Amino acid sequence: MAHSMVERDVPLLWLTRKLKRIGQLDADDASRLASLPLRIERIPRHRELVREGAAPEQCCLLASGFACRYKETETGARQIVSFHLRGDLLDIQHLLLARADHSLQTITEATVAWIPKPELLRLAWERPNVGKALWRDTLIDASIFREWVLNVGRRDAKSRVAHMLCEFVVRCEAVGLGTAANFEFPMTQEQIGDATGLTTVHVNRTLKSLDADGALVRDRNRFQVVDWKRLCGIAEFDPSYLHAAA
């Protein structure tokens, strides 16, 4: 079953790469990580992975495609609080918190690996390098959330959208998904609106304005970066809050 072994290895390979980027792992740490039990699942786009209020028994590791975390008001207005890409553990908090306080959803077709909580937790206790890297991962998550509070609370629509796009680009670059020079975004205008607290019409007008500024170019629902420096300038983007994650 060589084929299934290769498929099995991919998610943990991305996780190991990420943890090496943000922490220090030795050969034993890496081999313990590579032997974690997991269940791989292909998921269509816009599919819920974890629902707020659930009590997950496994952690969700993204191996391909894109996902987001979000919360909703009682009337169903949605706020995306973070985007995720391959190598990200989407709900590492459930190792220590029983209930999901937000929901997870794919935004494109995706491959996820479900890892049983007790196994990941035991690895974190037994291999301090792994534990420390996972801790750093949650701290960097928190730093990203702080930046998003600033973004949604204090930047005008154009800088806000530009900033969200800049973060997405540098995080994708860090895992080998595209380059800033001609990056094409996978999300819809609705998803950008949910991440920035704007209506889709407002996102549309804002993207048009970024296009007019020469930072992006749009063709119907596809848009890509054409002038990275200009986009960063409009966003006032300083990636230091991403620490080693990008």
Partner 1 sequence: MPRYFMQLRDGSEELLDPDGLEYADIDILQKNVLVAVRELISEDVKSGVVDLRFRIDAEDRDGSIVYSLAFTRALEIIPEDRPHGAQHG
The mark string for 176-205 relative to partner 1 (x by CB under 8 A, - otherwise) is ------------xxx-------xxxxx-xx
Least CB distance to partner 1 at residue 155 (A): 11
Which residue(s) pair with 105 in the sheet?
48, 68
Residue 220 found at the interface with partner 1 (CB under 8 A): yes
Find out whether 92 and 137 touch, Cβ atoms under 8 Å: yes
Residue 138 found at the interface with partner 1 (CB under 8 A): no
Count residues contacting partner 1 (CB under 8 A)?
15
Q: Considering the complex, state which of residue 157 and residue 242 has its C-beta at the smaller distance from partner 1.
A: 157
Least CB distance to partner 1 at residue 192 (A): 10
- The CA distance from 90 to 56, in Å, is 12
For 42-57, b/e burial (b = at least 16 CB within 10 A) is: ebeeeeebbeeebebe
Residue 46 found at the interface with partner 1 (CB under 8 A): no
Find out whether 109 and 142 touch, Cβ atoms under 8 Å: no
Q: Considering the complex, state which of residue 144 and residue 234 has its C-beta at the smaller distance from partner 1.
A: 234
Considering only CA atoms, give the Rg of the chain. 18
Q: Considering the complex, state which of residue 46 and residue 146 has its C-beta at the smaller distance from partner 1.
A: 46
Which residue(s) pair with 216 in the sheet?
225
Q: Considering the complex, state which of residue 93 and residue 204 has its C-beta at the smaller distance from partner 1.
A: 204
Q: Which member of 42, 46, 71, 208 binds partner 1 (CB under 8 A)?
A: 208
Q: Considering the complex, state which of residue 105 and residue 111 has its C-beta at the smaller distance from partner 1.
A: 105
Q: Which strand ranges, in their side-by-side order, compose the sheet holding 39-43?
A: 39-43, 110-116, 58-64
Strands (DSSP E) along 55-99, which ranges?
A: 58-64, 67-72, 78-84
Query: Which residues lie near partner 1 (CB under 8 A)?
Result: 156-157, 188-190, 198-202, 204-205, 208, 220-221
